[in-house]
Amino acid sequence: MLKQMQFDGEVVVVTGAGTGIGRATAVALAELGATVVLVARTKANLDEVKSAIENSGGKAEAFAADVSNEADVGKLRDFVSQKWGRAKAVINNAGNNFISPITDLATEKWRELIAVDLDSVYFMCRDFIPLLLKSPKPAILNVASTFAHIGNAHMPVYCAAKGGVVSLTRQLAVDYGPKGLRVNSICPGPTLSPRVKGYFDSGRADPAGTLQKVMLGRFGECDEIGNVAAFLVSDAASFVHGASILVDGGQTIN
């Protein structure tokens, strides 16, 4: 199994790789021997992650892009195609959230979040599937959320977008499984990413109330999500397909 988890220099593209779960996922992949293409909007964050990976003996390339922008995704695809000709896996992790009841939610805010949380997955899958199909045993992993499966107060657009990610994942699994491309989603529960910490620090969310719903009685750490993500795009997960994997400390069983 340990051999099947090694990437042997194969290219894995990770969006939202500058911080949080994306960064932790990229670090885990690099430790397993992947050449990680780090993608995010903020170049300074990418450069810091790239340096950390290289200082630990790993391989990484940084590409600043807004994956909610169709043209940027096209440039990213061209970069990967011209440099390597194919990709082993794509992890669509980029996303955002804000808290607002639907009656206070402006149309532009709805569209803004749908763009980064759902449209980006569409753009990335559409543009990278041809490159993935050039690799043996390729994989796509789309990062959704437990809120694709359960409701949460005052997050209508986030819940809708993440539900769409899970449904799109299942549909792509139907189309591309026969061609050898595995497509799965991962649904993190409450995780102490910088964004979530910001909600707690600002008082916009209640950590005590959130913890009451988690059977392990604690928040997840970003590397706990990243480790599962790296496994799911490795050959060790070769029969996991069309699945929505909950990594939530038991939140959704409560």
- Just list the catalytic residues: 158
Long-range contacts of 227-231 (CB under 8 A, 24+ apart): 227/24, 227/28, 228/186, 229/21, 229/25, 229/28, 229/91, 229/93, 229/141, 229/143, 229/186, 230/5, 230/25, 230/28, 230/29, 230/32, 231/5
Token output for 164:
């769409």
Burial of 110 (0-12, 13-18, 19+ CB in 10 A): middle
What is residue 163's DSSP assignment?
A: H
Length of the chain: 254
Q: What SS3 class is residue 39?
A: strand
- Cα–chain-centroid distance for residue 110? 20
Residue with tokens 């990770």: 14
- Cα–chain-centroid distance for residue 181? 17
The string of DSSP codes covering 104-141 is G--HHHHHHHHIIIIIHHHHHHHHHHHHHTTSSS-EEE
In the chain, how long is the greatest CA-to-CA distance? 52
